[in-house]
Structure formats: structure tokens, C-alpha cells
Amino acid sequence: MARTGRPREFDKEQTLERALKLFWSRGYGATSIQDLVDALAVERGSLYGAFGDKRRFYLEAVRLYWEVYERHLLTALDTSPLLPALREILTHPVRLDELISDAGVPQGCLVGNTTAELVPQDSEATEIVTHSYRRFTDIVTDALRRAQAAGEVTGRAHPEAQARMLLYLVQGLSLVSRAGSDTAAALAAIDTALDGLRA
Amino acid sequence: MARTGRPREFDKEQTLERALKLFWSRGYGATSIQDLVDALAVERGSLYGAFGDKRRFYLEAVRLYWEVYERHLLTALDTSPLLPALREILTHPVRLDELISDAGVPQGCLVGNTTAELVPQDSEATEIVTHSYRRFTDIVTDALRRAQAAGEVTGRAHPEAQARMLLYLVQGLSLVSRAGSDTAAALAAIDTALDGLRA
DNA sequence: CGACTTCTTGACTAGGCGTTCAAGAAGTCG
DNA sequence: CGACTTCTTGAACGCCTAGTCAAGAAGTCG
């Protein structure tokens, strides 16, 4: 029976969220433990006690990121007609208004950033990233299948192929937007792709 | 008048190319000067003498990367019909056979990787990356304009929007492929997008 | 209260990092 | 040859890094 000791003074979940934002904007390598200590107002020892080493801390943040995103994806795509919802999802990276981004600039997708920086060197990172991509395509494939059946989306291509195209599209948009976004141009590009899906 | 001193013993261009490959596969942060010294067989001091510090060295490699890519792009798209050539360009990241990749695995696009790791922290990196994206869309836009005029590509969307969509697509494919590529699925996704461009 | 457990704090360690530099080698030029 | 310039080599420097740890604080439970 676990005798409980001194209770943790900081909110672990909230600290992870804040660390996520820092990792998201600066990347893994460029974020030092000292940066985290300063930004989170939690001492080094406590961080190590709660999250293990830096790598585990980061990977945990990526997992949380994906978890939140996946939930958003599932609820957003559970609708008909599908294409407006899809447009919402795809253009999300350049619509800074909502969600987690503090800085006011697009920071790309944390999964994508991880892919660039840690994959394929780090096998655990590769696992997380691969899982996320897989989940994305599965969820979008299901939605497209329904939309094809409803006659909203063209059946000229398999929904798997369409979903994967959308994965590439959203990852590309997320990445490129990090370098500064011309929102109008981005929307036009997304709409061009979506037009190709229309029945 | 520049009195010439002791001549450089290593080939600067070739050394830069080899450094490019290392940076490409490991990323900026994960590649140490010592790694470079070991892999290039050039002593630290000589590297600093020839290329300046690590950051300049890296940025120079990114510039070279883009220069080579742009040349390839220009010659490949100067043709009609356009779509087969476009397909060649877009699927390049997963066709490991040719070009620079040694490791035998897709390593993404160095410009994209730089976007994830250094942008927007580093303004010079941001400049290079922005320039590359701009050149890509300009070149592809021109090609699409011609193909629209020839009746090969649909005029339902502006060529600028189509080009930008293709930029997102190729960047997304490059990135995602780093995590392991299902070549057939990737090709199907690309073809789905290209079908949407057909007149 | 006193035994026990866990968390906090911040100084500390060891190592790796990017970068510098002095001494010598290898050229050119007068 | 001797003056001059540039490149090479590798040791050395200082800094910053991730990670540890011992001492004390803050709880729970018998």
C-alpha cells in the first residue's frame, strides 16, 4: 500500500501543457532544461522527478499534443456535409486565433516538427509519429468513405489515397506556415485540393 | 594584390556536399562539429577557416541544397505534357534510387527540415527557406500556366493556388516519408492530387 | 508524537559543445 | 634564399548542457 508522501506542489498536467508550448515553438534541441525551469517555475529536480529525463518529457508532450488533436479531429469530422468540416481542419494551422498557440505565429504541427528533428534517429519518436499519421489517415478515410457513400465526395479515387493526400497537404501547410503565412494564398491552395475531391 | 598562401588541401565544394548529407540526415542540432570533423576528414580549424562557424556552415549547405533542387526543377518542368513531369518531381522524395540520399532512407527535404528546426528563431534561415518556397511556387506556377493554356490542366483554379497546393503536398510527403514510406500509398496520394488538376 | 514517504530546492558534477589560437607546414613572389 | 600569406593541426578554453543528490520540508498513517 502506497504510503503517500509530500504532495506535489505544481499541477503536473498543466506543467506538461506549458512545456508542450515551449517545445512546440523552439523545437527539442533548442529548448534547454534551464529554459523549462525558467518558463514553468518548477525546479530541475522536480521536473526530473515528475517526468524523467528531457527526452521522455518531450515525447510525453508530443503524445499529449496528438491526443488533443485526435479528439478534435474525431468530433470535427463526425458531420455531414464533410467538406466544410475538412476545410476547417486543414486550414487550422494558419488560423492562429484558436487553440494552443500563444506566440501568435504558426508553429507548425508538433508531430511534423518531431519528424524533422528526431526521426529517424529516435525509434520511440518514430513510433509516436508513425502512430499519429496512421490515426489521421484512418480517421479521415472513414469520414471520406461516408462522404463518398453520400455522394458528396468523388469515388474516382480510393478514400485511403484521398486521406493520405490530405495528410501530406496539412503537414505541408503546417510546415510552410512556420516561415510566415500568406493566409489568403494558403486558403486558395487548400480549396483547390478540396475542389478535386468534390463529386 | 592578394599574395597567395598555402593552398587548401581539401576540396571545399565536395566537403560542403558531404556536410550537407550529414546535416540532412541528422538535423542541425544533432550534428556536432566533431561529427563533421570525423565524417569529412577535415580538422576543426580548417572547417572554421573555410566556412565560418557551424551556423554559417549549415546555412551554406541549405543554400547549396536548394540551388541543386531548383536547377533540377527548372529543367524537369520545361516540357509538355506537364503532368508526368510534375508527377516525377512530386514523387521524388520517396524514390530513393537517385540523387543525393546515401542512407537509403528518405530524409525529407532539407529546406523543410530547416523550417521545422530553425524557423522562426533564426532570421537568416527564415530568409533562405522563404526564398526557396517562393521560387518553387513561381516556377511551378509558370509551368501550370503554360499547361492551362495548352488545355492539359484545368483552369478552374488559379495556377498560383495550384502551385501552392503542390508545394504543400511535396513538403508533406517529404516530411512524412522520413518516418518510413509506404511507396505505393504515397504514389496513390500524389496521383489523387494530380487527377484534380487534369482538364 | 514519531515513523515513513514523497516532493522541493539548488548546489554540484561530468562531459560535450562550439570556438579559438599558436606553432608549424606549404605554397607564391621579389 | 627570405619575406609574406594562407592553410593545417590539435591542444586548450570556457561555457552550457543534461542529469544527480543530499538536506530539509510537507504531507499521511499508526
Mind listing the pLDDT tens digit for each residue in B32-91?
A: 999 999 999 999 999 999 999 999 999 999 999 999 999 999 999 999 999 999 999 999
Task: State the DSSP string of A134-151.
Answer: HHHHHHHHHHHHHHHHTT
In this complex, the residue with its CA at the shortest distance from the C1' of nucleotide C30 is B3
Looking at the structure of chain A, the number of domains it has is 1
User: Residue B169 and residue A164: Cβ atoms within 8 Å?
Assistant: no
In a domain, A32, yes or no: no
Q: Which residues pair with A153 in a beta bridge?
A: A198
Give the mean model confidence (pLDDT) for residues B105-129: 94
How far is Cα A76 from Cα B158, in angstroms, rounded to an integer?
Answer: 29
- d(CA B4, nearest CA chain A) in Å: 40
Q: How far is the CA of A14 from the C1' of C2 (A)?
A: 35
Give the mean model confidence (pLDDT) for residues A153-162: 98
In a domain, A70, yes or no: yes
Q: Write phi, then psi, for A198 (nearest 5 degrees).
A: -65, 140
| Residue B199: predicted pLDDT | 87
Q: How far is the CA of B2 from the C1' of D4 (A)?
A: 11
**What is the domain-level CATH number for residue A181?**
1.10.357.10
In this complex, the residue with its CA at the shortest distance from the C1' of nucleotide C8 is A46
Cα torsion angle, A76, A156, A171, A137, sign: positive
- More confident: A96 or B60: B60
| Structural contact between residues B23 and B110, judged by C-beta atoms closer than 8 angstroms | yes
In a domain, A43, yes or no: no
| Structural contact between residues A76 and A85, judged by C-beta atoms closer than 8 angstroms | yes
Q: How confident is the model at residue A126 (pLDDT cuts 50, 70, 90)?
A: very high
C-alpha cell at A183: 493566409
Q: A3: Cβ under 7 Å from strand C?
A: yes
| Residue B97: predicted pLDDT | 54
In a domain, A184, yes or no: yes
Q: Nucleotides on strand D with an atom closer than 7 A to protein CB?
A: 4-12, 16-22, 24-29
In a domain, B32, yes or no: no
Structural domain range at position A98: 60-195
In a domain, A14, yes or no: no
How far is Cα B172 from Cα B183, in angstroms, rounded to an integer?
Answer: 14
pLDDT of B162 higher than 90: yes
Closest by CA position to B171, among listed B114, B110, B109: B109
Give the mean model confidence (pLDDT) for residues A1-14: 86
* DSSP secondary structure code for residue B155 in this structure: S
For the stretch A103-124, what's the b/e string if a residue is b when 16 or more beta carbons lie within 10 angstroms of its beta carbon? eebbbbbbbbbbbbbbbbebee
In a domain, A80, yes or no: yes
In a domain, A89, yes or no: yes
Helices (H) and strands (E) in chain B, counts: 9, 0
Q: B198: Cβ under 7 Å from strand C?
A: no
Q: How far is CA B76 from CA B140, B148, B179, in A?
A: 11, 17, 27
Task: Name the one residue in this structure whose C-alpha cell is 491552395.
Answer: A189
